[in-house]
Amino acid sequence: MPFDTLMAYAAVYDRLEDAEADYQVVKDLHTEADLIDAYDAAIVERREDGKVKIVKKHETPTRVGGVMGGGVGLATGLVVALFPFAAVGGGLLAATAGGGALLGALAGHAAAGMSRGDLKDLGEQLDAGQAGLVVVAVSDMGAKVERALARANKIEQRELKADMEALERDAAAE
């Protein structure tokens, strides 16, 4: 079973605008390095009612053919693993992201690639802020991604092992 080792970052912010600014820096970093297919990102916002909403996301369209082509990537899968009822736009992710089964598979792969303790730590960190930015990137971009998250109050970094072949098989089955 070949696993890709990726890094997952959860950055916590007091303001949504700061998360959006760092999201753009991460995007620019990968574009300039010609590594646009080497990361996924999702901005989450805690609404006044306490619910979590994904307000912006980037999924790599070329990494895992069918999976990423559906507009859902590992960062979104990780957010769903942490916050199962997260919303995107006006609806729940499961209803809007190309089917709940695929989304569940992505969440499962993201969660399986980390220890329970790491998942708990990431979720607690994101719970502490008004907004968050989750980035999943290739491990050799780690220091650059961390520098790009300059506006964050706190950054948690965890290793994520993903079986990309299994992800692709699960997407093809949908």
pLDDT tens readout for residues 100-110: 555 555 566 56
Q: Report the run of H or E that residue 164 belongs to, with start and end.
A: helix 164-173
76/174: higher pLDDT: 76
Number of domains into which the chain is organized: 1
Residue 23: give the domain boundaries: 4-173
- Position 136 pLDDT exceeds 90: no
Amino acid 143: pLDDT: 87
- Position 13 pLDDT exceeds 90: yes
Q: Report the run of H or E that residue 168 belongs to, with start and end.
A: helix 164-173
Helix/strand/coil for 22: helix
Query: In this prediction, what percent of the chain has a pLDDT beyond 90?
Result: 16
Looking at 6-15, 92-101, 113-122, which range is the least confident one? 92-101
User: How far is CA 122 from each of CA 11, 33, 82, 157, rounded to the nearest angstrom?
Assistant: 9, 27, 8, 8
Rounded-to-integer distance, Cα 157 and Cα 9, Å: 5
| Burial zone of 105 (CB within 10 Å; 0-12 exposed, 13-18 middle, 19+ buried) | buried
- Position 70 pLDDT exceeds 50: no
